[in-house]
Structure 1
Amino acid sequence: MNERAPAEMVDLERRAAPQQKRSQARIAQIVAATKRLLERGEVDSITTTTVAAEANVPVSSVYRYFPNIYSIHRTILEEFKLETDRIVLTVLEDPEAQDWQQSLSGVIFGLRELVASNPSYGAVFHLTLMTHELRAVREAWNLRLADVLATRWRQGKDGFHGGDPAIVARMTVEIYCSAEILIFEVRDRPEEAEAYFTEALMALQRYLAAYLK
């Protein structure tokens, strides 16, 4: 059950980060509880009350650090973003990579493994489709990731040619994100999820083959 009407604006900013170890541990406890609920597939029914019960803390403790459930979701989404950035930059800066197809496969397989081993990431990513404010967070992230690729291609890396680096980069990111959402929706059907993943990788390879060499 959502804690607000969809049209309302909500505050996604977490309360000021505490310095005390006890408070930091409490925040980690609340976030971990939310992740467990997301992993159990209880996406639509998660509230600050259910999080408090799962974390075995008073609801007031949740509100002390987070203004609403969406703020906790954003915290998890930011964590996912940091992990994604690490994977992308590590692969793109790998001096052993021989060509763009190897780099692309490295990024896609790395991200797939990240989401598969952290189901809450896929769940909160899926929530960005249904929550205006979270969608704005994902949009900003997509633009930043696309800018990383566009900057790389403007420098002539991967043999980029014949197109606008910014547009091609944005399309690349959007294709991946769309595939990740589809894969999450069929997560209970592994063979179908794997088929979507294979098709997404093939689609990206064929699309980028027109611009990279």
Structure 2
Amino acid sequence: MKRPGPLLTLLAGLVLGLFMLTLNATSGTKTASSSYREESPSASPKTPPTSSATPSTSPTPSPSKPSVANANYAGRTNDDAASVAVSVRDGKAVAYFCDGRYKEAWLRGRVNNDGSVKLTAPNGAVLDGKIEQGKKIRGSVKDEGRPYTFTADKAVKPSGLWRATAKVRGAKIDGGWIVLPNGRQTGIVTRDGKTTSAPRIDPETGTVTVDGQQLTAQPVTP
């Protein structure tokens, strides 16, 4: 009865040892796996490249500016029948067509980036032209169905376009003058809708006498 004791004890120890060995192996595997999963994110961080972190952006375009410089132009039609003056400011233009007797038209419109202009007047007159390198403008004015081709050179004050409006002896006065670079003048004064040739203007001061009253004309801009 005493002999089986050591054998059973040995078997029990062997079983216990196998159980503990299996338990350690299983625990070690879990620990290693858990440790790997916890350390893997920090072991190989995914940092995006610097070039992709900052998206490329195009520079914000600045507001477009008119490509045609501000200037005044004055000249004659090719048949020498009338004068034409054009004033350009900030992409806009105003023009005056005048024969110095009874025919006149005030025209307005925009200046395209290529220097071309198409100006219109309340009386139906139309001016089509092209500014050439800021030195002159060539084109035509169509008034009352008749076209007048012209060339107007760049004008520097006192030459250019002038206008005066006032009340003289109860009459509404509206006068327009074109002063050419050579000093030649063309103008018309309208008194309550009736047109006559305008008296000479002093281009240095803008003063002019109409019906005995001195007026001051001003340079015209859009």
Looking at secondary structure, tell me which structure has more strand per residue.
Answer: 2
Q: Scaled by the length of structure 2, what TM-score is found?
A: 0.24
Larger radius of gyration: 2
Please state which structure has a larger fraction of its residues in helix. Answer: 1
Question: Higher relative contact order at CA 8 Å, sep ≥6: structure 1 or structure 2?
Answer: 1
| TM-score under structure 1 length normalisation | 0.24
